[in-house]
Amino acid sequence: MDKIDIIHHGAKDGVTGSCHQLQIEQDGFTSSLLIDCGLFQGRESRPNLDIEFEISTVEALLITHCHIDHIGRIPWLLAKGFTGPIFTTEASAALLPLMLEDSLKLQLGLNKKQCQKFIERIEKQIKPVPYHC
């Protein structure tokens, strides 16, 4: 039987840590799209930022916008092995590397060379999509 699920990995009991997985099971195969991968903040903050859910079926990441509570755990997603495309608007695509670089310096204390290596990697994964309203 074909099935569609939305699995909430964050922002389900609060407003930060936005991370939702649209999972589709069809003809015996499962694939999914991750919508945001954000940082928990304030009272919801967590010392462990690891991605604690299975990502083997995640084919792409969709970023809604570049607030840290929607993008802050992308480095941990990549560390877990995510290599798929990252879809976002053209404006967010331009802003995303800058926001993540700042986050890497503050959260992980990475130096400029380490940050640059990460940014070069993520820039290859970002796929800007025109926004029409």
Domains of the chain with bracketed CATH? 3-129 (3.60.15.10)
- Asked whether 16 and 38 are in contact (CB, 8 A), the reply is yes
- Per-residue pLDDT for 1 more than 70? no
Residues whose CB is less than 8 angstroms from the CB of residue 132 and which lie 6 or more positions away in sequence, other chains included:
none
Residue labelled with tokens 């010392």? 47
Bridging pattern class, strands 19-26 and 3-10: antiparallel
pLDDT band, residue 112 (cuts 50/70/90): confident
- Asked whether 70 and 100 are in contact (CB, 8 A), the reply is no
pTM: 0.89
Mean pLDDT of the chain, nearest integer: 90
Q: Which helix (H) or strand (E) holds 100?
A: helix 90-108
Measured at the CA of 124, the angle between CA 16 and CA 30, to 5 degrees, comes to 65
Share of the chain above pLDDT 70, in %: 97
* pLDDT (tens digit per residue) in 40-79: 888 777 667 788 899 999 999 999 999 999 999 999 999 8
* pLDDT (tens digit per residue) in 87-104: 999 999 999 999 998 878
The residue among 78, 70, 67, 3 whose CA lies nearest residue 35 is 70
What are the tokens at 56?
Answer: 């083997």
